[in-house]
Amino acid sequence: MTPPKPIPRPDRVSLWRYLRLFRQDILSAQPARLYRAWMAEFRTPFFRSYMCNDPALIDLVLKARPDDFPKSDRIREGLNPLLGNSVFVTNGEVWKRQRRIIDPAFEGGRLRESFPAMWDAALAATARLRTGEVEVEEEMSHAAADVIFRTLFSIPIEHQTAQAVFHEFRAYQRTQPILNLAAFLPLPRWFPRLHRRATLRSAEKIRALITQMTESRAAEIASGRAPDDLATKIMQTADPQTGQRFDTQEMVDQVAIFFLAGHETSASALAWALYLLATHPEAQARVAAEAATLPDHPDFAALSRLKFTRDVFRETLRLYPPVPMMVRENTWPETFRDRPITPGAQIVLSPWHLHRHERLWTNPDGFDPDRWTREDNKTSARDAYMPFSAGPRVCTGAGFAMVEGTLLLAHLIRTYQFTPVENAIPVPVAHLTVRAANGIRLRLTKRS
Ligand code: HEM
């Protein structure tokens, strides 16, 4: 069975129809030709944007000259109430300094130290699940948020503050989709901004809670009683160039993005992975067989037994990249594929289209985890796969997410068998991440 894909819009539609479709869902607002094109131009009275699927252009924007293609200020405006000056929205020297402080916490060695907390979150997730019909997106949000709390602040999701942050994030996201798209669409400055009152209130509450956690962690560090987790590591790291550490405000901005970027994305990928396995029972049986070899208390090395599970997670990130599109702005006159691009144009990079590009992948819409071990996949994997972006601005949590995804998937599948619910085929839509329009419902039975 071919995994669900949104129905693209007709090739030609009016600007207003396009904007309306765009507000509903970025994915179905695009025409089918983008799955074949190397580059596409969108002209509107307000802005020009160029979607680039040509690997050479993607390389130029993300890897060769990333400083010339910063994130647009409009993205910052849209997300400012929650994310302040977080590493996700800053540019230039500020961004470089933030990455120098954050990156060491996510290096390979630290991942190994985060492993026990991830494993505890996996155990807690399977203990929370019940047999019967389950909406797995919601469950996976819960599980991925738990991973973040345990690895960052050493508290489980049952902790009172963790619960409060998690619930406020949910409230924030329910008011969020339109705000997010408004930030994405470079509308003119006179256009009303959609910072709705409810969104602002949620953002304020989340920041107040995170500030509390950050301040009490600073006090624990000062008194030598702090647990050795990601928050402590980041707060103690000094920028090797300036010697500066994050102050409380800047740390709150970073914690906010770790929660947001770290749990929504992983949750989306895990939920789609479960759906793909439910609809591909042979692949599910192979994951179950691999997961059965895990010891009761696995350590980091046990991950090497989960090769197929990892490929399932990789393939899920190809078909349902949680971050479907990214936007940059060009600062100089450029020529892309013989077309002049004036400064200020929006450059859209779309993992969604790139990963299903008909000229770059064989069987682009099919679920085929074994492709990741085949020689002929190497070029596509190198040139046309970027669920975590690429270049210096690559996702800080990429390694973390691959360990988390593989581990949680293995433990979920070794505990439960997942089967599809009749007439409940999920339709992918782009909210903050790629989600199913009405959730993903699956039936769970306990494995013996
Ligand atoms: C499957 C899970 C994940 C996916 C698919 C994902 C994907 C991405 C992508 C595509 C970007 C680049 C966005 C852009 O340039 O506009 C990004 C950035 C980022 N991600 Fe992730 N992410 C995941 C998990 C995580 C986790 C677990 C964390 C942290 C704990 C994290 C933290 C960040 C941060 C801080 C950035 C901003 C980096 C920068 O701009 O320098 N992500 N992520």
Ligand 1 centroid to 287 CA: how many Å?
A: 26
Q: Say what the pTM is.
A: 0.94
39, 33 contact by CB (below 8 A): no
The β-bridge partners of 220 are none
Position 195 scores a pLDDT of: 58
User: Shortest CA distance to 15 belongs to which of 38, 48, 37, 40?
Assistant: 48
Phi-psi region of 123 (alpha: psi -120 to 50; beta: other; left: phi over 0): alpha
CA distance 399 to 403: 6
Phi, psi of 442 (to 5 degrees): -135, 160
292, 418 contact by CB (below 8 A): no
Ligand 1 centroid to 45 CA: how many Å?
A: 32
CA distance 33 to 38: 10
Ligand 1 centroid to 441 CA: how many Å?
A: 26
User: Shortest CA distance to 312 belongs to which of 353, 354, 284?
Assistant: 284
Q: pLDDT 10s digit of each residue in the chain, 448 long?
A: 899 988 776 777 677 776 666 666 777 777 889 999 999 998 776 778 899 999 999 999 999 999 999 987 776 776 778 888 999 989 999 999 999 999 999 988 789 999 999 999 999 999 999 999 999 999 999 999 999 999 999 999 988 888 888 888 877 776 654 444 444 555 444 444 555 677 788 888 889 999 999 999 999 999 999 999 999 999 999 999 999 999 999 999 999 999 888 888 999 999 999 999 999 999 999 999 999 999 999 999 999 999 999 999 999 999 999 999 888 999 999 999 999 999 989 899 999 999 999 999 999 999 999 999 999 999 999 999 999 999 999 999 999 999 999 999 999 999 999 999 999 999 998 877 888 888 999 999 999 8
Position 24 scores a pLDDT of: 67
CA distance 69 to 87: 16
Q: What is the CA radius of gyration of the chain?
A: 21
Whose alpha carbon is nearest atom 32 of ligand 1? Answer: 397
The finding on whether 96 has its CB within 6 A of some atom of ligand 1 is no
Whose alpha carbon is nearest atom 11 of ligand 1? Answer: 395
Whose alpha carbon is nearest atom 8 of ligand 1? Answer: 388
The finding on whether 279 has its CB within 6 A of some atom of ligand 1 is no
The finding on whether 257 has its CB within 6 A of some atom of ligand 1 is yes
Position 198 scores a pLDDT of: 75
The finding on whether 99 has its CB within 6 A of some atom of ligand 1 is yes
Which DSSP string do the residues of 207-252 spell out, in sequence order?
HHHHHHHHHHHHHHHHTT---SSHHHHHHHPPPTTT-----HHHHH
Which DSSP string do the residues of 127-164 spell out, in sequence order?
HH--SEEEEHHHHHHHHHHHHHHHHHHS--TTSHHHHH
